Chains A and B, each alone.
Chain A
């Protein structure tokens, strides 16, 4: 048929004669309907096959005739296609080995394709009916192609060869990208690819690594020797264009096994899309990335590069090694950007070939976003009608990405001093993260919604107490600052949680009409009773003393817990008061009062109707650490009488409490509330208090030789501190009123004597270290002891501040 039939076949798609030419052409011509078409016509197959092929397409006769005519008959412009073909073939000649490998690939492909090829053929032939021959743009493109490809060392990798091949073959698939891309995906090229990878890699002496290539890999030669100097623009662009082969590795996988997050913008998906346009482009997109210094640094040095999968690495290496990286800037403009592996610094670039005449390379130097945009627009225009084949999520993703790019472009232009402002567009490109927006805004909103729902609360103070309190404190601080300072110092972002009104839901179990009896429908709100648990109280006789002790302790604990709840409620009343309405306030006050009384009763163990007999209950509470802390918190709420009572009880039982407190050492927490109480006490109370501390009976006048009670008190931090407080108060009272009752009170005087005596008696080593020593003690003691003893006391107790 064609005089150069064999030659055509050889050049066009494969040099191995044994392969079916059709298959070869088809395989190669996946992206090259033009060539394939031609091949089909030119093959060594018998003519009737061709006819059949065409007929099976269901073409009209005229078309077939026209085809034939165009090809063989008068319409055929031999020169053109031959010339064009020659030119194209030149490219393939150079990577001779590549081609062979390519052929190998192709043959594999063919074998695997099988059925697909038929459809492919049909469709492709359908595609390239007229356009390619008449579209001036394409013709021009085809012509310019070879010239562009020539410069640059084409001792290229397989990648490039195949890329070139593919590109050349497929100039006009702009309208039929979907079909092509589907075909792309259908091609199971992976196995062959890997072979090529290896060969390619070995050629370049880049070791194949399963682990991250970053660490310890040999320096990557971005530009092979002999290639023209790399283009600055390319560096600026930082665009990396994958050779199609690596793309193809991914493409079939991606389509077959769509990611669970279908909308995830993996590099692969992105590759898929531009892939098609790539195919449709007359120019070889073989502008492989030139690794700029920065990129290389990122690749090699980035600690965060993570691991690249083998295929990714292969891709990278292929890219790196490609001599076409050095391609003429003109190529850039024709290129379609794609995403390279996700290692750091790879840019995704949607560069679309301008549908109109490919304006020369000057385009390549526009500001990065600009070019993005320019290239994007036609690209997206091309895309829109063609994305129907894509998975709907994929398509959406694409559009979103395009929009995002546009937005970014706009925002980039608009950003002045914002955080990105100072960066150059180059850096901006760097920062544009191909994996950003893996989650759609829709998904993010959805998660936010759920989180907000979880934060819904009818009573934030109950559900989120610490958060509320924290922010209240902060607000107070900032308000105070504002008053003092110039203005709000810092804006603290506060999460505004949804406020939900409390709704009372009376749950009604499901009832069915017309059914006999009740249906056994058990749910969360309507649980079924599974166990019949009956509380049986034990008989008193069986209990041992141990048990009794334990029970008593447990009862005390229960009391503490109950009282604590009351305490928390009472403490909360202030806030509630502020929030409540006017009418409700008296009620609240009443409640509060009642609760306080209850607390007190709990503390003292007073049963309703029972006279207070013993301190026992209180002491039990005070033996437990939590009880002590609770008492300290309750004290401010109690009335003076109640508080005094507590104080007395404490003082009365102090040695015991001290003993019990040995491990916890929590008693000092009581000092502060005690002192507050003390300073409101009248003198006689103080006296009695001191009496309690000294454990002297009211009427006793005969002092014991050694007051054990007091001694114990003195030896304890809390005790001593309390004593000091009491004494201090007494002194205060004394000094405040000249004709004070205290002075006249014999008891007080006696007590003072006792105290001082004890203080003098006790060895210094045994003396505890008080929390604080009131300053007026010295003057107090001076009233009751002579100078000598005073001096002793002074030194012993370190009453004078200067000594310390």
Chain B
């Protein structure tokens, strides 16, 4: 078993990395070390909103290991059959903005409601949230 190395053979396999801040990166994993620091090549940041997603090409990424949540290999054959629909970057960013806004609104309402009841949920500022 070679957990780290098997993916770095000559036929490049795309990898998907989920970061702690919620970003999803897809690229060719070029290097890894014991801390899970990653070097990703031809990376694309994929934003998912609902059933749509959009890819933003980012180039080369060097990710510090502590920010990695999970790393997985993409099955190139399965990659194509996805129910998700790819849209343009502008569109997906717009969607994301809308989603964030809606989330913030609901969050605000929640906090308000709790406040009325005299309760308060501590803001998880230091924790990872997305």
Query: What is the interface of chain A, defined by CB distance below 8 A to chain B?
Result: 212, 214, 261, 303-307, 342, 344, 404, 408, 420, 431-433, 435-439, 441, 444-445, 447-448, 450-451, 454, 495-496
Query: Does B80 reach chain A (CB closer than 8 Å)?
Result: no
Please determine whether A420 and B11 come into contact, CB atoms closer than 8 angstroms.
Answer: yes
- Identify the closest chain B residue to A309 (Cβ): B59
- In the complex, 7 of the A-B residue pairs with CB atoms within 8 angstroms, ordered by the A residue number, are A261-B31, A404-B10, A435-B41, A439-B32, A447-B5, A450-B34, A495-B1
Counting from the closest, the 7 A-B pairs by CB-CB distance are A444-B5, A306-B59, A450-B34, A304-B42, A433-B12, A447-B4, A436-B10
Contacts A261-B31, A444-B4, A454-B34 supplied; 6 other A-B pairs, CB < 8 Å: A306-B41, A342-B41, A448-B4, A451-B3, A495-B3, A496-B1
CB 8 Å contact bits of B38-59 with A (1 = contact, 0 = none):
0101111000000000010111
Contact among A212, A432, A436 with B8 in the assembled complex (CB-CB below 8 Å): A436
Neighbouring B residues of A420 by C-beta, 8 Å: 11
* Main secondary structure on B side of the interface with A: strand
- Identify the closest chain A residue to B26 (Cβ): A304
Please determine whether A303 and B32 come into contact, CB atoms closer than 8 angstroms.
Answer: no
Please determine whether B32 and A447 come into contact, CB atoms closer than 8 angstroms.
Answer: yes
Please determine whether B5 and A439 come into contact, CB atoms closer than 8 angstroms.
Answer: yes
- Identify the closest chain B residue to A306 (Cβ): B59
- Nearest CB of B to A368, in Å: 15
Please determine whether A448 and B30 come into contact, CB atoms closer than 8 angstroms.
Answer: no
Neighbouring B residues of A436 by C-beta, 8 Å: 8-12
- Identify the closest chain A residue to B7 (Cβ): A444
Neighbouring A residues of B9 by C-beta, 8 Å: 436-437
- Nearest CB of B to A451, in Å: 6
- Identify the closest chain A residue to B59 (Cβ): A306
Please determine whether A433 and B10 come into contact, CB atoms closer than 8 angstroms.
Answer: yes
Query: Does B125 reach chain A (CB closer than 8 Å)?
Result: no
Neighbouring B residues of A344 by C-beta, 8 Å: 42
Neighbouring A residues of B127 by C-beta, 8 Å: none
Query: Does B63 reach chain A (CB closer than 8 Å)?
Result: no
Please determine whether A432 and B55 come into contact, CB atoms closer than 8 angstroms.
Answer: no
Please determine whether A307 and B59 come into contact, CB atoms closer than 8 angstroms.
Answer: yes
Neighbouring B residues of A495 by C-beta, 8 Å: 1, 3
Neighbouring A residues of B3 by C-beta, 8 Å: 448, 451, 495
Neighbouring B residues of A304 by C-beta, 8 Å: 27, 42-44, 55, 57
Contact among A306, A431, A432, A441 with B42 in the assembled complex (CB-CB below 8 Å): A306
Neighbouring A residues of B44 by C-beta, 8 Å: 303-304
Please determine whether B2 and A439 come into contact, CB atoms closer than 8 angstroms.
Answer: no
Please determine whether B59 and A438 come into contact, CB atoms closer than 8 angstroms.
Answer: no
| Docked complex Cα distance between A437 and B11 (Å) | 9
| Docked complex Cα distance between A303 and B10 (Å) | 21
| Docked complex Cα distance between A129 and B93 (Å) | 67
Neighbouring B residues of A305 by C-beta, 8 Å: 42, 57
Contact among B2, B28, B41, B42 with A445 in the assembled complex (CB-CB below 8 Å): B2
- Nearest CB of B to A249, in Å: 19
- Nearest CB of A to B75, in Å: 11
Please determine whether A433 and B43 come into contact, CB atoms closer than 8 angstroms.
Answer: no
